[in-house]
Every structure is written in C-alpha cells, then in structure tokens.
Amino acid sequence: MNRSEAKEIIAHCIKRQELKNKLINRDLMRRAISEDNVDNRFNSEAIKYREAATNLPGSIIDGLQDQYIANQILKEGGLINKYLKEMDFPGPTDPGIQYLKGFLKHPMRYIFFEIMEELGHDLYEVWNPFTEEELLVYSPAMTTTIKEAGGIISIWLIMGNYNGKCFETYGPVIPFKALTFFDIDYFALHNNFNLYREKNGISKDLNQNPVPYLMLVNGCELAMIANRGEDFLYFLKAKELNSLPDHNRLKKNFAIEYKEDIYKLTPHGYGEFPHFARAYFIEESSELKLLSFSETGFEEMIKAFEIHGITVEDNPDFILHPYTPNLTSMILDIDASPDQFVEIFEDAEGENTPEEDEQLESLNELMGLIVEAYNNGIKPNLKKYADEVGVPEEVAEQLYKVLKDKIGQMDDPGMN
C-alpha cells in the first residue's frame, strides 16, 4: 500500500468518525438507553459473571458497556432497523442516512485476530482464524496500545465493521499479551459446547453472547511463564483407544495406577516438575487423554506410547496458558480443569508424597525470604534466595510476581 492509498483510507475513516460522534455517540446511544434500556441489558448479562466483572476497574466496565450498547444498535438485526424508520433526514442522499444504512449491509461485530503486518498510519493487516478472514484494520487505539504495552501482543478482541475501505474499530480494543487462539478456543468450548461444534461457531457465539468473552479482559495482562528456557504450557491431546497393551510391558516406560475404571499412566522421568506429564485411559469411553505441562514432557510421552504400538499424533488438541483453565472457571463459574481425574488419584488420605512435601517446603521457605525482605524495605535478591532453597530462579521470579499482586500491588522495595 502506497502513501496515497493510505491517506485516502485514513481520510475516509476520519470523516466517518465525525458522523459517529454526532449520530451514534450523541443521539442513538442516548435513545438506546432511555427507550430500550440497553444499559440494563448489559448489567443483567454482566451480573451472571459477577466475580469476573467485579475484578475489573469501573473505567473498563464503563468502556465495555458503551461498546456493548453501540453493538446492540448496529449489529445484524439491531435497533438501527427501528431507529432508521423513525429518524428525519433532509433526503435519501444525506451523509447521515447513508452512514447509518451502511451498518445494514456491514453490521457491527466482535472479532478476535492476530496482526499479520503493521502497515503504518494506524493500518494493520490482520487474520481471524475462527472465520479464516484476512482484514485491513484501521485503529489509532491499537497503535497507542502497542506503544504502551512495550512488547508483542499475541491476539486482540475488538468490535467494528467494514466501512467500504477497511475494517474500522469502535470502542475499547482488548490486547492479550500471552493468551493465544488455543486459549480462546478452550474458553469457547466450555462456554457453549453445542455452538462450538458448528462451522464458525465461536464467531457466532461471540456475537450472540459477547459479555462472557468481554470478561476475558481479566487475562489480558497475563505473561508467559518459563523454566530453563521452556514455556510452562498445558499440552492436551485425546484419542480413541480400545484397550491398553500388556501392563507388564507398559511398566517399563510408565508408572501405572488404576482407580474407578480409569488408568493413570505417568511416563518415567517426566511425571514431576517441570513436566508433570501424565495420561489417562478411560475404559468406559475407550479414550486416552494426554496432559503435560511442557512440550518436552508431551513429546517424550508420545514416544513412550509409540514403543508399545500406540500412535498419538504430535499436534496437541490444545496448548494452553497455565492460567487459562482458572480464568475460564472463574468467568463461567464452572470447573474447567484440563485434568478431570486428578482428585481420583490423590493419596487416599489426602497426604502429599515426600517429593511434594519437599517442593512445598522449598516454596514456603522462599516465600518467607521474599516477605521478610519486603517487610524490611529491602529489594529481594531472587537469584540468591532461589539458590538457597534449591529452586530455579524463574520460579522465584514468578512467586515474587504473585506475591506482589497479593500484597496490594506493592512497588519494589527500595526502588521508589
């Protein structure tokens, strides 16, 4: 795209901004609130996700509510159909009526996307994997957000519509620093399983019921967690399997447990920190489910199964940020844990193994050192503390981040 083409698109968008401010922000949104109580509709939806909503600052809720109101006016089948019949314009060629009628052809909608290329001048080429669309997006708000974030944004959630030259955003743009489309896919699976299975089902669900997806803003600041250069991620895979091979042979590569018609298979050398790899074979459904907290653990578990003639494709069904199941559970008020069987195989009396006790003792000791430093107004020496208690420095950094969030969003001691 050359400079002349970019200037033409930007001028078109700026002209539309003036109409938006006059017709939508000033007139139609007031009418939607006073006549159709759309603000109460948002509040009624948000209260279903009370914990997620109350975690957000009022300014963010206000912005999401205004965006939702505009969506209810300008979406497919929205209130714009009624309002256009009742509005007075000088004539059919009036810019105002042409602007509003444009939403009948190209309704306002929510989309997830990732940036393919930054073109400059607030223009971006983006890709929506849920609909396989490639779009040209104009958004000064995205440009500002990228500068403020100081790093790569993984994916975005925005609302907007095609304006004849590009896709133009409206209202808040939500950037996610670490969540990926796998995480959104996992959330959508738990939010509306029936619609999830349809073609373009996630996009349909997002636009029919946007509020739970808007609550994902709780996860926009999540960062990646890594240990020894490998990201902590949930790797999930399921496959049909009629039966397990000879157990005595399997024991060469797996520790095997059996409870309530379910086998738990833990690959030797990869069942502990940082991999926590395990698989479950469910006799009733003839299904094998694999779960690992690292890519290495996932790949080594697949190799171990291959030795015994069980072929598992190495492309995971989901690769999740470790906080995604908790985020999904919190928003939807359900149990979205990827490990449905963990409680079945806990020690019968709920006791930890010696290895688990040792890990917990190290973490508690580390926590004590960090809190002591904070109380004394000293910046914690995380590398030194990690060496003392025998944990990776990355674990100390993550624990410190969690403690900062818990202790009133504290500043680094001694750094004021």
Q: What is the mean pLDDT of residues 345-359?
A: 59
- Identity of residue 5: E
Comparing C-alpha atoms, which of 142, 140, 138 is closest to residue 156? 142
d(CA 353, CA 248): 24
Q: Where are the domains of the chain?
A: 3-219, 229-320, 358-406
Please, what is the average pLDDT of the chain? Answer: 88
- Helix H segments across 88-225? 95-105, 140-149, 181-191, 193-196, 201-208, 211-214
Amino acid letter, residue 182: F
Contacts of 80 (CB under 8 A, 6+ apart): 28, 73, 74, 100, 103, 104
- Give the model's pLDDT for residue 357: 59
pLDDT at 393: 82
Residue 89 has pLDDT above 80, yes or no: no
What is the phi-psi region of residue 152: left when phi exceeds 0, alpha when psi lies from -120 to 50, beta otherwise?
Answer: beta
For 306-319, the pLDDT digits (tens) are 999 999 999 999 99
Instruction: State both tokens at 312.
Output: 């598992």
For residue 358, is pLDDT > 80?
Answer: no
Q: Are 195 and 212 in contact (CB under 8 A)?
A: no
Q: Distance between CA atoms of 23 and 36, rounded to whole angstroms?
A: 17
Per-residue pLDDT, 226? 65
Local structure of 255: helix, strand or coil: strand
Which residue in this structure is represented by tokens 């930890």? 352
Residue pair 21/13 in contact (Cβ under 8 Å)? The answer is: no
Q: pLDDT, tens digit, for every residue of 385-400?
A: 888 888 888 778 877 7
Taking alpha carbons only, the member of 208, 164, 214 closest to residue 184 is 214
Residue 209 reports pLDDT greater than 80:
yes
| Distance (Å, whole) CA 148 – CA 140 | 13
Q: How much is the pTM? A: 0.81
Q: Is the pLDDT at 353 greater than 60, yes or no?
A: no
Share of the chain above pLDDT 70, in %: 89
Distant-in-sequence, close-in-space partners of 10: CB < 8 Å, separation ≥ 6: 121, 122, 123, 138
CA-wise closest residue to 211 among 75, 336, 47: 47
395, 400, 403, 405 alpha-carbon torsion, rounded to 10°: -110
Look at residues 117, 109, 233 and name the one whose alpha carbon lies nearest to residue 179. Answer: 233
pLDDT of 409 over the 50 cut: no
What is residue 47's DSSP assignment? Answer: G
Q: pLDDT above 90 covers what percent of the chain?
A: 68
pLDDT grade, residue 377 (50/70/90)?
A: confident
If DSSP codes are grouped into helix, strand and coil, which group holds residue 242? coil
Helices (H), 289-375: 295-307, 324-332, 354-375
Lowest mean pLDDT among 3-7, 211-215, 401-405: 401-405
Would you state the structure tokens that stand for residue 36, as one six-digit string?
Answer: 């159709």
With 60 as the cut, is the pLDDT of residue 416 above it?
A: no
pLDDT band at 346; cut points 50, 70, 90: confident
pLDDT greater at residue 103 or residue 345: 103
φ/ψ of residue 96, rounded to 5: -65, -45
Asked if pLDDT for residue 253 goes beyond 90, the answer is yes
Question: Residue 329: which residues within 8 A CB-CB, separation 6 or more?
Answer: 335, 336, 337
pLDDT tens per residue, range 126-165: 999 999 999 999 999 999 999 988 778 999 999 999 999 9
